[in-house]
Structure 1
């Protein structure tokens, strides 16, 4: 295992990376500008896309949102046609939620917008930096996916 100072150094570098990505590459206010639903609701849609159909309580816990605060978000997503609510097949006391095709379409358009913005930002880099990123990003993704 690495020394504590090395772990702290990695932690500091990751923190700076997140700040830089947020400020220079990924600007949430630009990403979610003009969407038909608030960013908090979009966050729920992205999480549901990752988790798949799941109990509302699981979604709330995963997003660290209290269940009473999650209910109006889910209600709004259902009213707007982005989600469906249904009873769990094995236990009708459990309320499940899933994305609709409309939600998948919205998430796809957000993804395409993000990728276009990334291309625009990256076009300012020279070829050497772009090739470095091309090699580093897949490695970084693989490492980050191992973190629980």
Structure 2
């Protein structure tokens, strides 16, 4: 393995692990101490503005509706999510964030924005483009190799 490949491997593994660790610590030590990383990502998948079906959220998270149901039940008990059935078809279950859930969403979004700002600070426009292109290639590789879909494309 070339030195640059070794360095990139080390950086990517360390970065992935650090992001997960930092995210967990931020939750544990902050106002959202009752949430896990998985729960905050469920809140993120539900989104801020429109109720979503359980199927849509499960697909975005790449989990089954049954697994999501367990997570949603916990989030309802904690006061972050509400569940409703639509009158036209009682089989369809909609979920949406409560006021507390929207606050959690905003705080997590702020964490991500700060992370991105720290990543690009000091980069010129060309360097930003190279970084974006490189990460896009890496993302495409994983999507192709592991048959992943981008929830943002739906």
CA distance in 1, matches of 2:60, 2:115: 28
User: 1:77 is matched with which residue?
Assistant: 75
User: May I ask how many residue pairs the two structures share in their alignment?
Assistant: 128
Structure 2 Cα separation of the partners of residues 130 and 21 of structure 1? 26
Alpha-carbon RMSD across the aligned residues, in angstroms, is 3.8
TM-score, normalization: structure 1? 0.63
Alignment match, 2:15: 23
5+ residue gaps, structure 2: 1-7, 135-139, 141-149
Residue 44 (structure 2) pairs with residue 46 (structure 1): yes
Counterpart of 2:24 in structure 1 is: 32
Secondary structure of 1:87's counterpart equals: strand
- State the Cα deviation string for residues 16-47 of structure 1 (Å, max 9, x = none): 7xx749818x8132123224211111111111
Checking the alignment, whether the CA contact within 8 Å between 1:31 and 1:114 is kept in structure 2 is no
Aligned CA distance change for structure 1 residues 38 and 97 (closer, same or farther; 3 Å): same
Q: Map 1:1-148; keep pairs closer than 5 Å.
A: 20=12, 23=15, 27-33=19-25, 34=28, 35=32, 36-49=34-47, 52-123=50-121, 127=122, 129-133=123-127
